[in-house]
Chains A and B, each alone.
Chain A
């Protein structure tokens, strides 16, 4: 059993991210915001070996639009955000999210392969021009309540993740 993680990003300007940054700086007064980036993370769990699972996900990406539209989105098997910089990453997921069951059915029918779990989340990469203490306060009080609804979503700080994980 293995889990493959793939990150999907816009090939051109990410307008959602651009609007989020504009709103945080100009409407929420977060002038310390240096950089805001976003990617969509897909986690795919199968009974296959790591090699076979990676091949399956590559085939899904190449031969369908189910998890990425290649006309406007690119994919990669390593996180687009580097660790060790002064930015932090948060993974936003809905609290009652249980995965993409209908999409699993479609993918299994098209590719004749069993998928155990398929889930999607948003990763925000945030860089603030502030001390660590101030950054933590600004993230908690300004940025995260805007990027994730505190009632229905959870924003969890993430560390670097390997693209392939043996389970």
Chain B
């Protein structure tokens, strides 16, 4: 196998190894590359994953320093070339700072902020739990294409700043998203279904072209059945519920 997917390790990333494993379990070749790699090395990959963690120790605010690194310029070119880009947790926060999602204006300007978790207008700090999400408009994004709009999918969340605040909340309806829901698939806006007070129950959102997706929950922690706790209701059998998301990386054309 030749390397095809790059998992970008920033200073403070801490989920890069299990993200590589989530890819290799699907028969996809993946390697960790560093934030200060050359553009030539960066361009030798066909898809990119920004993993979870605490890049630059979340200094100033989550993801903002990483979002201004030279490697993000390479990532913008990769987006323009329609390469697949996935941001998970801190990777989602970095993509939000770059303006690559939802990118309604087609510019580099920020359109969404990831803000501190809230309950009843009060900050509640870090959350670490299993929740359920389901997809909207999955056919409009290559990472979600294998999912449907009705099946609730269990997945862990582990973040302190995962509350999406959109500059224009009305754009959400035009984009593929993951939304928090109950184990039966009902969208309830209150805690604990919506664990952090996020706008419109948004847990993840893609771009218009369908090649970029950013999500706060951790799919790499739910790709194998043995990762799913016994008390979680899940219909999946041979693989974990999020294996199809990584399987999307098999088609890198």
Contacts and interface: CB of A to CB of B under 8 A. Distances in A.
Interface of A: 15-16, 19-20, 23, 27-28, 94, 96, 98, 101-102, 146-147, 149-153
Contacts of B115: 94, 96, 149, 152
Interface string B42-70: 00000000000000110111001100111
A16 B112 CA distance: 23
Interface string B91-118: 0000000000000000000111101101
Contacts of A147: 60
B68 A23 contact: yes
Contacts of B59: 15-16, 19-20
A149 B110 contact: yes
Contacts of B118: 96
B68 A151 contact: no
B172 to A, nearest CB: 14
A101 B112 contact: no
A98 B121 contact: yes
B122 interface: yes
B113 A15 contact: no
Contacts of A149: 61, 64, 110, 113, 115
B110 A146 contact: no
A23 B121 contact: no
Nearest to A26: B68
A64 to B, nearest CB: 18
Given A149-B113, A151-B113, A152-B165, A23 B65 contact: yes
A16 B110 contact: no
Interface in B169-224: none
B57 A15 contact: yes
Interface in B128-166: 165-166
B81 interface: no
B167 interface: yes
B60 A150 contact: no
Contact of B121 (A15, A19, A27, A96): A96
